[in-house]
C-alpha cells in the first residue's frame, strides 16, 4: 500500500531510482508529486516525477480510472534514502539466498524466485505492440497478443528499458533474428492477463 499525494495507491515495483505505482486519476508525464509508503514500520516519502503513465482501466469518471505510472525519485530525506537502501539490500539478499538454495537442490526457493515481480504482473493487463515504421517505433496498447510482421507484441508488464533494448536489437537483426525476437515476445504475451 502507498499514497500518491495523500490518495491511496498500490506500489507494484520499487527500485533505487524510482517505482511503478497503480493509482486512480491521471498523472501526466513530467508532473511532480509525493509518494509515501511504509517499510518495516518506517514511513518513506519521496518527491517524484511521473516518467510514463498508462490507463489500465478506463472510466467515465476521471477520478475512477485506474492508471499505472512509472516514477523517478527526485528528492527524499537522508533517513528515507537510508531506509530505501536497506530495503533494496534486503530484497537482493533474499533473492541471492533463494538462488543459492535453488542451486543446491532446495526447491522451496523456487517459490520465492517465482513470485518476484508478481505484483506488477498480476496488476498489468493486456499487451503492448511495437511496430517499426519509417525508421521509428510506434508503441500502442492492444488487447491482442498477435505478433506484427514489422515488430513485436509483449505483455504490458514488461520493463520499458528492456523493451527499448529489444527495439534496438530488432533494428540490427536480420530476418532470422527478428523471427527469434517475435518468438520471445510471443512467450511474454502468453504470460499476460487479458
Tell whether the model's pLDDT for residue 50 goes beyond 90: yes
pLDDT of residue 20: 87
C-alpha cell at 40: 518495516
Instruction: Quickly list H helices, 29-72.
Output: none
CB 31 within 8 A of CB 47: no
110-162: pLDDT as tens digits = 554 444 444 444 455 678 889 998 889 998 888 888 889 899 988 876 767 77
How far is Cα 31 from Cα 27, in angstroms, rounded to an integer? 6
Give the pLDDT mean for 177-190: 81
70-88: pLDDT as tens digits = 899 998 888 878 777 777 7
How far is Cα 58 from Cα 105, in angstroms, rounded to an integer? 46
CB 6 within 8 A of CB 12: no
Q: Model-level pTM?
A: 0.52
Sequence ranges of the domains in the chain: 1-124, 125-190
Average pLDDT, the chain: 80
Tell whether the model's pLDDT for residue 30 goes beyond 80: yes
How far is Cα 191 from Cα 43, in angstroms, rounded to an integer? 34
pLDDT of residue 61: 80
CATH 1.10.1760 fits 1-124, yes or no: no
Amino acid at each position: 500500500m502507498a499514497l500518491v499525494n495523500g490518495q491511496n495507491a498500490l506500489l507494484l515495483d520499487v527500485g533505487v531510482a524510482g517505482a511503478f505505482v497503480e493509482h486512480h486519476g491521471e498523472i501526466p508525464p513530467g508532473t511532480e508529486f509525493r509518494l509515501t509508503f511504509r517499510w518495516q514500520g518506517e514511513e518513506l516519502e519521496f518527491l517524484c516525477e511521473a516518467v510514463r503513465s498508462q490507463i489500465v482501466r478506463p472510466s467515465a469518471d476521471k477520478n475512477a480510472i485506474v492508471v499505472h505510472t512509472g516514477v523517478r525519485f527526485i528528492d527524499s530525506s537522508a533517513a528515507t534514502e537510508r531506509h530505501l537502501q536497506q530495503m533494496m539490500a534486503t530484497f537482493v539478499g533474499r533473492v541471492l539466498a533463494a538462488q543459492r538454495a535453488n542451486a543446491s537442490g532446495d526447491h522451496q526457493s523456487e517459490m520465492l524466485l517465482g513470485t518476484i515481480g508478481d505484483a506488477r504482473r498480476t496488476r498489468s493487463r493486456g499487451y503492448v505492440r511495437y511496430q517499426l515504421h519509417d525508421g521509428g517505433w510506434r508503441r500502442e496498447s492492444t488487447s491482442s497478443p498477435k505478433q506484427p510482421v514489422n515488430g513485436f507484441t509483449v505483455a504490458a508488464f514488461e520493463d520499458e528499458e528492456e523493451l527499448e533494448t529489444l527495439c534496438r536489437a530488432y533494428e540490427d537483426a536480420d530476418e532470422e533474428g527478428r523471427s527469434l525476437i517475435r518468438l520471445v515476445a510471443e512467450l511474454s504475451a502468453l504470460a499476460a492477463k487479458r
